[in-house]
Structure 1
Amino acid sequence: MKSPQQVIFDAVYAASLRLGYATYDYLPAKDTAYPFVYVGEQFDQDLQTKTNIYGRVQQTVHIYHNYRRRRELTAMMDALKVEFRSLKESEGFYITCRNINAQTIIDTSTPDVLLHGIIEVEFQFN
């Protein structure tokens, strides 16, 4: 049986794939075409009762795109947020999207200037 944290990670990853986005669980090579989604950091707080596990998971999702494609980046971020809010159940766990924070920043860590969208989504599970 998977942990609830892995179930949520897998559900987020699958949501990005359903939207048709190139999706990775690692930062891909520098020659990877833009845009792409990187399902990254995860923080969790779980509690256990005698018969059940429940808690919260914060999942960070990164979207990288060319600097001149802000509208496309924004559309990707919006579509992902809609998908995350629609997650209700996966592999024996009930999932509720509790909160979403997002930001768009300029990324100058590569020779090409990029837009870096960051979505932080908090899920509750039981």
Structure 2
Amino acid sequence: MDPQQELFTELLVQLRKKGYDVYDTFLPPKDTPYPFIFIADNQQVDAPNKTAVFGNVYQTIHVWHNNPKQRGMVSEMLLNIKQVCYSLKHTANFAWNVRNIEQRILSDTTTTQPLLHGILNVEFYFD
């Protein structure tokens, strides 16, 4: 399996084990209850090597909540997601190490109801 897909699948499984409502590929339907997690785009950058595959995967993970007064819950969810990322050491074919995590919490006014939008950009090194 490709490294980015193996990582994506493992994150999906581990976050669902934590009891979160996790979506991937497409945002959930309009009636989906909040809060929820969306595992979004990723990018893989291979390091040049003749015999092995290693490099970086950059994974974006979103959290949405429909109660702006519960910013603490969004922050806690982001912390739990980061803990899942940091605890991920091995998948079937690769070893993983988090290099960087960028976290943002934004106001989201793209719907009629104000939302909180948490974003994690996670850089994983694999070998």
Instruction: Give TM-score, length-normalised by structure 2.
Output: 0.94
Q: Determine if contact 1:40/1:61 at 8 Å carries over to the other structure.
A: yes
Structure 2 CA distance, aligned partners of 1:20 and 1:14? Answer: 10
Alpha-carbon RMSD across the aligned residues, in angstroms, is 1.0
Where does structure 1 lack aligned partners over 5 or more consecutive residues?
none
Task: Tell me the CA shift for residue 91 of structure 1.
Answer: 1.2
1:81-120 paired onto structure 2 within 5 Å:
81-120=82-121
The residue that corresponds to 2:33 in the other structure is 33
The structure carrying a bigger strand percent of its residues is 1
Q: Give every structure 1 segment of 4 or more consecutive aligned residues whose post-TM-superposition deviation is greater than 4 Å.
A: none
| CA deviation after TM superposition for structure 1 residue 49, in Å | 2.4
Q: Is the 8 A contact 1:15 1:84 kept in 2?
A: no
What SS does structure 2 have at the residue aligned with 1:88? Answer: coil
Partner of 1:44: 44
> Percent identity between the aligned chains?
38
With normalisation by structure 1, the TM-score equals 0.95
Distance in 1 of aligned mates of 2:13 and 2:97: 16
- Residues 42-81 of structure 1: per-residue CA shift (max 9 Å, x gap): 0110135232100001000000002222111111011111
Matched AA of 2:45: Q
1:14 and 1:107 mapped to 2: Cα distance? 27
5+ residue gaps, structure 2, are none
Counterpart in the other structure of 2:64: 64
- 1:74-124 Cα shifts (integer Å, max 9, x gaps): 110111111100100001100111110000000000111000000010000
Amino acid corresponding to residue 13 of structure 1 in structure 2: L
Which residue is 2:18 aligned to?
19
For residues 108 and 64 of structure 1, the distance between their equivalents in structure 2, rounded to whole angstroms, comes to: 12
Deviation at 1:14, TM superposition (A): 1.8
